[in-house]
Structure 1
Amino acid sequence: MKASVYYLASLLATLSLAVPVKELQPRAEPTDLPRLIVYFQTTHDSSNRPISMLPLITEKGIALTHLIVCSFHINQGGVVHLNDFPPDDPHFYTLWNETVTMKQAGVKVMGMVGGAAAGSFNSQTLDSSDADTFEHYYGQLRDVIVDFQLEGMDLDVEQPMSQAGINRLVARLRADFGDDFLITLAPVASALENSSNLSGFSYTALQQTQGSEIDWYNTQFYSGFGSMTDTSDYDRIVANGFAPEKVVAGQLTTPEGAGWIPTSNLNNTIISLVREYGEIGGVMGWEYFNSLPGGTAEPWEWAQIVTEILRPGLVPELKITEEDAARLSDAYEESVKAGSVDKSFVKRPGINYYAMVNA
């Protein structure tokens, strides 16, 4: 491995240190509200080349506040995976090296555990009534947070989980990682209206018992569980006791999923909500790699448009050195080799890291 691919290697050499996340990576703090959040799940293109997240900070006019790396899965009888591989697999060298640069630009990098794949929150893993079983699987999640310097964890519970189980998990994350660590959940919008719910537990009850420990809700206003075509679903959530500052309006970034709405429609709804409440939690997009209008060629354009809607004038300044560019370029080479049968064949990055140098 080349010396400049130091980041992941150094982390893996210090797994036993268990250093709190908040002490690991100094950064410039963005103005959080309203938040602009993007989920980063598809990490490689159809040719198995890493997809760069860096246009979200290098392209003009984007004021991203948070990036959520996903999806982490807890596997009964196994180890944590990030999608199809353990997160320390060389497949992800580019991803983890790029998160360093994202933090340098002031973006907070979180992880997401769960999602549509079952297993992470069942009675044999994180929802186990057996203390030793819970400690085993919680310990795996805790180690991922520490090892990869995640600044928060999004709990996307899309399977039945007990009220006691979610309370325990939120409380334990807060106790272990402190006040600066971000704890969020990703309910469908109707769950915050006390209606259709994929999680099993009551979010109203969770807010009453653990609300002070939950930073916000990445609320899914799509797939038939809610919509941002107008303010009505958001209004019902606020009327149900959830502060608008804690309700992030989750949107699909392409019409490939049910419930997508054009950004022009989103713009009108956001204007109405800000007029009504003064401040809202923000907007999140699922997911990055094929976001419209740019598609796979220029997926960052969605974030540019939503910045103009939500966070005009708040674009952060990125500083990147020659050393940063060398690290990123070499990490890309190692990532491609990891996914290639012919280890001698390497395509250079589609993004020119050296062109970004400005410090």
Structure 2
Amino acid sequence: MFCRALSTVFVLLSALFSACVASALPTDGLDLEARNILKRATPAAPHFVVYSDEWVSGENGPPAVSEVQGFNVFALSFLLTEGAFDQAEEWVEIGASARSSIKAQYEAAGIKLIVSLFGSTDAPTSTGADPVGTANTMAAWVKEYDLDGVDVDYEDFNAINAGDGKAEAWLATFTQQLRTQLPQGQYILTHAPVAPWFSPGKFGGGAYLTVDKTVGSLIDWYNVQFYNQGTSEYTTCAGLLTQSSSTWPNSALFQIAASGISLDKLVIGKPANTGDASNGYIAPATLAGCVEQAKAKGWDAGVMVWEFPDAAASWIQTVRSQAFPE
């Protein structure tokens, strides 16, 4: 079955879509549908992700593209089980016209706009949130407000630490339902676990080693939080990349990969400065060297940072300078 003649780029795209999907679309609506999917399509690595939760004086919605040049994913934080807060709430409040204008500017600059879910103040498993209903509600929010996807910043430490597997099961069901509503390849779906959750044998339910085995194929990449885990954890290139401490064994970047997690899904997450995390900070110029070392060993997943405006265009320019210069 063949579609009617399209522009060159959409002819190339047609190979990516099955005949059944093409046949289900009205002929006169196919161009629009293809364009919408292209706009939302998951970007290839490397991923340079910046979160935005802080209120910024004079800002009305996400910052100007020039302020975040060098990043390719901007995460509005947070959408909670109770609804939108902080930058996610601001995205709602600026109105449809402003959202459309900002979205177009970000698309032109190659920057995806996503929303981050939960964060440190939301504990969905411990509070008994239904994973299917929560996923449905959050996916509907993403569609209503025209975003490119979600980041699952699950920080329900009590549930993981319980070691009974309930947290892992909740995350699996939640992720599966998100993917039902936000199809792979059309919407970004990432997770942001802390690095120790990949440490073998430390958690009764297996933490993110179990999550990856169960639903890892549905997750585009992991924005791994290599911070807030102890004053000396992940603070040198060696500790970050090849040899974690005995407190969180086998949780450095390449050690996580050795446990079976795809190396190309492991995005290095760091705080922008010492004030953005309790510990785990590495100065941008030093981090640039660590990133270059990782790339030399075959890694190219990218870097995540918490948060804007402490991390902006100049921060990512420095961090990218040795391995991924613009």
Query: TM-score by structure 1 length?
Result: 0.66
Deviation at 1:25, TM superposition (A): 6.9
Q: Provide the rounded CA distance (Å) in 2 between the counterparts of 1:30 and 1:228.
A: 31
Q: Deviations over 1:8-56 (max 9, x none)?
A: xxxxxxxxxxxxx9864754979632211111222432xx6436522xx
Matches within 5 A, 1:231-310: 231-232=241-242, 233-256=252-275, 257=277, 258-276=279-297, 278-291=298-311, 299-310=312-323
Structure 1 runs of 4+ with >6 Å offset = 28-31
User: Do the aligned residues in 1 keep the contact of 2:193 with 2:222 (CA within 8 Å)?
Assistant: yes
Q: Provide the rounded CA distance (Å) in 2 between the counterparts of 1:305 and 1:72.
A: 30
Q: Provide the rounded CA distance (Å) in 2 between the counterparts of 1:85 and 1:216.
A: 21
Aligned length: 268
Structure 2 residue corresponding to 1:223, chosen from 228, 240, 247: 228
User: Do the aligned residues in 2 keep the contact of 1:110 with 1:152 (CA within 8 Å)?
Assistant: yes
- In structure 2, what residue type is equivalent to 1:40? S
Q: Secondary structure in 2 aligned to 1:309?
A: coil
Q: Percent identity?
A: 20
The residue that corresponds to 1:39 in the other structure is 51
Structure 1 residue corresponding to 2:116, chosen from 82, 89, 112: 112
Deviation at 1:126, TM superposition (A): 3.6
Higher helix share: 2
Deviation at 1:162, TM superposition (A): 2.2
Q: Provide the rounded CA distance (Å) in 1 between the counterparts of 2:201 and 2:89.
A: 36
Does residue 1:70 correspond to 2:77, yes or no? yes
Structure 2 residue corresponding to 1:168, chosen from 170, 173, 190: 173
- In structure 2, what residue type is equivalent to 1:183? L
Matches within 5 A, 1:1-359: 24=36, 26-27=38-39, 32-45=44-57, 49-50=59-60, 52-54=62-64, 57-58=65-66, 62-75=69-82, 80-83=83-86, 86=89, 89-90=92-93, 97-127=101-131, 134-135=132-133, 137-159=134-156, 160=159, 162-180=167-185, 181-194=187-200, 202-224=207-229, 226-227=233-234, 229-230=236-237, 231-232=241-242, 233-256=252-275, 257=277, 258-276=279-297, 278-291=298-311, 299-313=312-326
Deviation at 1:177, TM superposition (A): 1.9
| RMSD (CA atoms) | 3.1
Q: Provide the rounded CA distance (Å) in 1 between the counterparts of 2:171 and 2:155.
A: 12
Structure with larger RCO (C-alpha < 8 A, sep 6+)? 1
User: Do the aligned residues in 1 keep the contact of 2:288 with 2:321 (CA within 8 Å)?
Assistant: no
Query: Which consecutive unaligned segments of at least 5 residues does structure 1 have?
Result: 1-20, 128-133, 292-298, 314-359
Query: TM-score by structure 2 length?
Result: 0.72
The residue that corresponds to 2:25 in the other structure is none
Cα separation, partners in 2 of 1:302 and 1:239, compared to 1, 3 Å: same
Q: Provide the rounded CA distance (Å) in 2 between the counterparts of 1:58 and 1:100.
A: 14
Deviation at 1:147, TM superposition (A): 0.8
Query: Which consecutive unaligned segments of at least 5 residues does structure 2 have?
Result: 1-32, 160-165, 243-251
Q: Provide the rounded CA distance (Å) in 2 between the counterparts of 1:218 and 1:309.
A: 21
Q: Provide the rounded CA distance (Å) in 2 between the counterparts of 1:201 and 1:91.
A: 41
User: Do the aligned residues in 1 keep the contact of 2:198 with 2:208 (CA within 8 Å)?
Assistant: yes
Q: Secondary structure in 1 aligned to 2:189?
A: strand
Q: Secondary structure in 1 aligned to 2:293?
A: helix
Cα separation, partners in 2 of 1:262 and 1:155, compared to 1, 3 Å: same
Q: Provide the rounded CA distance (Å) in 1 between the counterparts of 2:112 and 2:59.
A: 24
